[in-house]
Amino acid sequence: MDEERLKKLESAKKKLKEFQSKNLQKPNVDAAYLNTLMQKKIQHSFTGNVNLESIENSSLSPSSNNSDGGVFALNTGPPSVLESEMSHTATGAANDFDSNKQEHVNSSLQKLNQPDMIAPNLNFFQSDFTKNDKSVANHHSQGMSLTCNQSEIELENSLLKDRLRAEQESKMELEKTYQALQSEYNKLRTGKEAPSAFEERNSLLEEIQTHTKIIGVLVEEKSSLQSQLRQAKEMFKALQMEHVSMQMKFVQRQEVDKNATTMINELQAENAALKSSVQQQGIQLTTQRYELTRQLHGLSILQQDKNELSVKLKAQSELIESMKEAEKKLKRSLESREIYAKQLSQALTSSEAGNGNDRSERTTFSILEEKQAEIDKLNAEMNTVKQQLLEAKQSFEKYEQSAEEKIAILSREIQKHQAEKSTLLMKLEQLETELKALQSVNKVESVVERDKNLNADVIESMKLVSDLHCELEIMNKRVQQLEIAVQEKELHISNLELQLREKIDYARNCQSILEQLHSERVTAGRALAQNHDLKERLCELQNKFVEMSEANAVMTDRLQTLTSKLASVNQNENVKSTTDSYTSMTDEEQCSYCTNSSNNSDNTLVELNMKIEQLTMENDYLKQCLAANLSEVDQATTTTETSLVESEINSTSVEQLTIINEVN
C-alpha cells in the first residue's frame, strides 16, 4: 500500500509540473478587454460552454499569484489562467471574424450589379428606399401638375409597382446573404476554437479529475485508518472491562467460600435435629398407614352399598313403569265400557218408546245391572292400582332420600380421603426434601464418618416412604380405573346421542335433497319448454334478418344509383347556373356561387355516406347479436337478447324507410 501511494504521489507531482509549465507559456491579456467581452456576452459563440461549476465544485484551480509560475492548490478564488485563455481566444476569434465579414460583404456587393442595391447593410437599404419613395412622390406631383392624362398616371403606377417589386427582391437577397454570412461566421468560430481551446480545456479537466481521484484515494485511506484506530480503541476498552469483571468475580468467589464454611457448620447443627424429627415422622407414618387401611376398607363397603342401591332403584323404576302401563290399559277398558253402556241406554230408550213389553225391560235391566257390577269391579281395581302406585312412589321417594343421604356421606368421606391424601403427599414431599438435604450433607466426608447411624435411619425412612408411595399408587390406580369406567359409559351415551342426531340429520338431508330434485326437475322442464320456444323465435328472427339483409342490399344499390344521379344532376345544374349567370355576374360572384354549390353537393354526399355507414354498423351489430344468441341458446337469458334484436331490427327498418323518403 505504501509503494502504491508513493507512485500515485509522484505521478501527481509530474502532472502538476506539466500544468504549471503550460500556464507559464501562455500570454497575459488585458483585464479591461476581458470585461468588455464578458459584458457583450460573446461567450455564447466561442467559449464552448465549459462547465466552470464542476471545476469550482471540485475546488481545484491553479493560483496565479506569482508571475514565475502557479502552484496547484485547494482554493476558492476565481481561475485567472482560464480567464486569460478565454480572453486570448476571444480576441483572436473576433479579429478573424471582422476580416472575414468584410470580405464576404464586399464579394456579395460585387455580385449585385443593380444601382439601387449598393448598400452596406439593411439600415442603409431602408434609407435608400425612403429616398426613392420621396423622389417618386416629387415626380408624381410634378407629373400631376404638368399632365393630367390618365394614361401617364397608369404608366407611372406600373413603374412604381415594378420598382417596389425589384426593391423587395433585393431586400430578400440581402437577408439571405446576411444569413449565409452569419452561418459562415458560426462555422469559422467553431472551427477556430475546436483545435486550440477545447483541447486545452479538456486536458485541464482531465488533470483536475485525476487530482480529484488521487485526493479521493487519500481520503479513503485516511477514513480506513481512522476506522482501524476506532476499532483498536474499542478493543482496548473491552479488555479493560473484562479485567474489571474478572476482579469482581474473584472478590465474589472469596465471599462465596466464606458463606460455604458457615453453611457447613449450620448443616452439622441441623443434622442432629433431623435425626429426632425422622424418628417422630416414622411413628406418624405407621399410624397413618393403619388409618389408610381402615379407610380403604370403608370405601369398599360404601362402594358395595352404592351398587346395591343402584340395582334397587332400577327395579323400582321398572315396577313404576309397569304400573303406569297397567293404569293406562284400565283407563282404556273403562272408557270402552262406558261407551258401551251409553249405547245400551240409548237402545233401551228407543225400545221403551217403540215397544212396552216387560220382557225386554227385564232383559235390559239385568244387562245394565251386570254392566254396573263390572264397572264397580273395575273401579275397585283402579283404586287398588292407585294405592299400589302411591305406595310404590312413597317407597321410591324413600329409597331416593336414603340413596341421596348415602351419596352425600360417601362424597364427604371421599373428600376427607382426598384431603388426607393431599396432606400425606405434602408430608412425603417434605420428607423427600429433608432426605435430599441429608444426602447433600452426607456428601461431606467429615459428616459421613460421624453420622453412620443416621444413614441407617435414613434408609429405613426411605423404605417407609417407598412403601407409602406404592400404596398411594395402588389407590390412585383404583380411583383412575373407576373414573375411566365412568368416562367410558358417558362416552358410550354421548356416542349414542350423536348417532341419533346423525340419523335425524341424514333423514332431513335426504328429504331436502328429494325436494330439491323435485324442484330441479320442475325447473328443468320449464327451461326445456322455454328453450324450445326460444329456438322457434330465433329461427323466425333469422328469417327476418335474412329478409332485412336482402332489403338492405337493395336499398344500398338504390342509394348508390341515387347518389350517382344526384351527382350528375348537380353537375348539370352547376353548368347551367354558371352559363346563365356568367353574363350577369362578375368573376368574384361566379367563384363564390360555384364554391357554395359544390359545398352543398359535397355536404349532401357526405350525409348520405354517413347514413350508409351507420346502417352498415347497425347490420354488423345485429349479426354479432345473432351469433351471440346462437351460442347461448341453452341459457335462459336469451329472451332479453332476442327482444333487443327485434327492437334493433325494427329501428333499422324505420330508419331505412325515413332515408328512402328523404331521397325520394
Q: pLDDT tens across 379-404, in order?
A: 677 677 667 667 766 766 776 677 67
548 pLDDT above the threshold of 70? yes
Lowest mean pLDDT segment, chosen from 178-182, 249-253, 284-288, 358-362 = 358-362
Check residue 594 and give its pLDDT.
60
Check residue 456 and give its pLDDT.
64
Give the pLDDT band of residue 649 (cuts 50, 70, 90).
low
What would the mean pLDDT of 161-178 be, rounded to a whole number?
77
Q: pLDDT tens across 12-71, in order?
A: 667 666 655 654 444 444 444 445 544 444 444 333 333 433 333 433 333 333 333 333
Q: Please state, as a whole number, how many other Cβ atoms lie within 10 Å of the Cβ of residue 34.
A: 17
**Local structure of residue 602 (DSSP, 8 states):** H
How much of the chain is helix, strand and coil, in % rounded to 5?
A: 90, 0, 10
Cα 109 from Cα 264, distance rounded (Å): 130
Cα 561 from Cα 554, distance rounded (Å): 11
Which of 5-19, 242-256, 326-340 has the largest mean confidence? Answer: 242-256
User: Of all residues in the chain, what percent carry a pLDDT higher than 90?
Assistant: 0
Query: Position of cell 328453450?
Result: 531
Q: pLDDT tens across 320-333, in order?
A: 777 777 777 777 77
Cα 368 from Cα 358, distance rounded (Å): 15
Length of the chain equals 664
Q: pLDDT tens across 28-38, in order?
A: 444 444 455 44
With contact defined as beta carbons under 8 Å apart, do 92 and 192 qualify?
Answer: yes
109 pLDDT above the threshold of 50? no
Give the pLDDT band of residue 343 (cuts 50, 70, 90).
low
242 pLDDT above the threshold of 60? yes
Cα 659 from Cα 563, distance rounded (Å): 13
Give the pLDDT band of residue 163 (cuts 50, 70, 90).
confident
Domain ranges of the chain: 4-204, 258-512, 518-576+606-663
Q: List CB contacts of 337: < 8 A, sequence separation 6 or more.
A: 371, 374, 375, 378
- What is the grid cell recorded at 561? 344509383
488 pLDDT above the threshold of 70? yes
Lowest mean pLDDT segment, chosen from 131-145, 369-383, 412-426, 460-474 = 131-145
Q: By three-state DSSP, how is residue 26 classified?
A: coil
- What is the grid cell recorded at 326? 297397567
Check residue 292 and give its pLDDT.
73
216 pLDDT above the threshold of 70? yes
- What is the grid cell recorded at 613? 355507414
With contact defined as beta carbons under 8 Å apart, do 538 and 630 qualify?
Answer: yes
What would the mean pLDDT of 588-596 be, rounded to a whole number?
61
Mean pLDDT of the chain: 64
Q: pLDDT tens across 71-86, in order?
A: 333 333 433 434 444 4
What would the mean pLDDT of 581-607 be, rounded to a whole number?
60
Check residue 508 and give its pLDDT.
73
100 pLDDT above the threshold of 60? no
Q: What global pTM score does this model have?
A: 0.21
User: Of all residues in the chain, what percent carry a pLDDT higher than 70?
Assistant: 45
Cα 203 from Cα 493, distance rounded (Å): 102
- For 52, 447, 459, the CA distances from 456, given in Å and listed in that order, are 104, 14, 5
Cα 324 from Cα 318, distance rounded (Å): 10
- What is the grid cell recorded at 611? 347514413
Which strand (E) or helix (H) includes residue 71? Answer: strand 71-74
Cα 231 from Cα 239, distance rounded (Å): 12
Cα 137 from Cα 160, distance rounded (Å): 10
What would the mean pLDDT of 585-606 be, rounded to a whole number?
61
E-strand ranges in 75-111 read none
Lowest mean pLDDT segment, chosen from 102-106, 366-370, 509-513, 523-527 = 102-106
Kind of pairing between the strands at 60-63 and 71-74: antiparallel
Which residue would you say has higher pLDDT here, 460 or 359? 460
Rg (CA), the chain: 66
Check residue 150 and give its pLDDT.
63
Own/partner long-range contacts of 276-281 (Cβ < 8 Å, ≥24 apart): 277/434, 278/434, 278/457, 278/458, 278/461, 279/457, 281/427, 281/431, 281/461
Which strand (E) or helix (H) includes residue 357? Answer: none
Give the pLDDT band of residue 123 (cuts 50, 70, 90).
very low
- Identity at 271, one-letter amino acid code: N
What would the mean pLDDT of 603-632 be, rounded to a whole number?
67
With contact defined as beta carbons under 8 Å apart, do 635 and 538 qualify?
Answer: no
Burial class (CB in 10 A: 0-12, 13-18, 19+), 274: buried
Phi, psi of 502 (to 5 degrees): -65, -40
Cα 323 from Cα 487, distance rounded (Å): 33
- The sign of the dihedral angle between the CA atoms of 211, 216, 222, 228 is negative
Which residue would you say has higher pLDDT here, 57 or 534? 534
Q: At what angle do helices 452-582 and 199-354 cross, to 10 degrees?
A: 100
Cα 78 from Cα 75, distance rounded (Å): 9
What would the mean pLDDT of 403-410 be, rounded to a whole number?
72
- What is the grid cell recorded at 133? 419613395
With contact defined as beta carbons under 8 Å apart, do 117 and 132 qualify?
Answer: no
Which residue would you say has higher pLDDT here, 179 or 95? 179
**Local structure of residue 72 (DSSP, 8 states):** E
Cα 270 from Cα 264, distance rounded (Å): 10
Check residue 438 and give its pLDDT.
64
With contact defined as beta carbons under 8 Å apart, do 615 and 585 qualify?
Answer: no
What would the mean pLDDT of 246-254 be, rounded to a whole number?
75
Q: List CB contacts of 382: < 8 A, sequence separation 6 or more.
A: 327, 330, 334
Lowest mean pLDDT segment, chosen from 195-204, 353-362, 491-500 = 353-362
Check residue 626 and give its pLDDT.
63
Cα 617 from Cα 78, distance rounded (Å): 75
Diameter over CA atoms, the chain? 184
451 pLDDT above the threshold of 50? yes
- What is the grid cell recorded at 460? 429405613
* Dihedral (Cα; 590, 596, 600, 606), 10-degree rounding: 110
Burial class (CB in 10 A: 0-12, 13-18, 19+), 398: exposed
Q: pLDDT tens across 175-215, in order?
A: 777 777 777 767 766 655 455 556 777 777 777 777 777 77
Cα 548 from Cα 555, distance rounded (Å): 10
What would the mean pLDDT of 475-494 be, rounded to a whole number?
72
157 pLDDT above the threshold of 60? yes
547 pLDDT above the threshold of 70? yes
Cα 461 from Cα 476, distance rounded (Å): 22
- What is the grid cell recorded at 291? 388409618
Lowest mean pLDDT segment, chosen from 101-110, 183-192, 210-219, 416-425 = 101-110
Check residue 588 and give its pLDDT.
56
- What is the grid cell recorded at 221? 485511506
Check residue 398 and give its pLDDT.
75
361 pLDDT above the threshold of 60? no
Q: What are the DSSP calls for 545-584, one per residue?
A: HHHHHHHHHHHHHHHHHHHHHHHHHHHHHHHHHHHHHHTT
With contact defined as beta carbons under 8 Å apart, do 468 and 282 qualify?
Answer: no
Q: At what angle do helices 587-631 and 638-663 cross, to 10 degrees?
A: 160
Check residue 97 and give its pLDDT.
45
